[in-house]
Amino acid sequence: MTLITFYLVGHDYGWLSNSAPYPISLEGKMWYTSEHYFQTQKFHDLTIQKKILKTRSAAEVVRIAGNPKLRVRRDWDAVKLGVMRTAVRTKFTQITDLKLLLLNTGDAVLVEHNPHDSYWSSGIEGKGKNMLGVILMEIREELRRSQSD
């Protein structure tokens, strides 16, 4: 079994990261990265959404959205997986080069290795849920099926 780990944008497979600088068009807006879209969806407050939308840096967007003083939407835990799927699916269907790169990972297990996150990533000890990796593999399979149709 081949294992592909990713995390930092400038490293091998950094294009898998939501922070990779690949703009997407979704809901009538252009987002600098899929991370921008994802973080914006945490909030119903239009002021916060606009601030995130205008911020160029994905790292800054994460910092803004992580402010504990901001009120995250109540249903966030229930909807965040769907929001992430939408962001990832959009990125890899709109950007043909990325779609091909993802498909070329074959059947490799994709693992985000962010030591600070054990939900979206494998976490510091590698025992995290790796939900971003899981979603990437799901989208890869969707893309494969759509090519064979």
Instruction: Write out the residue range of the structural domain in which residue 119 sits.
Output: 3-148
Residues 6+ apart with CB under 8 A from 112: 5, 6, 7, 16, 17, 120, 121, 122, 130, 132, 133
Domain of 83, CATH number, reads 1.10.357.40
B/e letters for 95-127, b = 16+ CB within 10 Å, e = fewer, are: beebbeebeebeeeebbbbbeebbebbbbeeee
The count of structural domains within the chain is 1
| CA-wise closest residue to 61 among 85, 74, 79, 43 | 43
Over the stretch 28-81, which tens digit does the pLDDT of each residue have? 999 999 999 999 999 999 999 999 999 999 999 999 999 999 999 999 999 999
**pLDDT of the residue at 35:** 98
Looking at residue 118, its pLDDT comes to 96
- H or E element in which residue 93 lies: helix 76-94
Q: Dump pLDDT digits (tens) for 72-130.
A: 999 999 999 999 999 999 999 999 999 999 999 999 999 999 999 999 999 999 899 99
Q: What is the value of pTM for the model shown?
A: 0.95
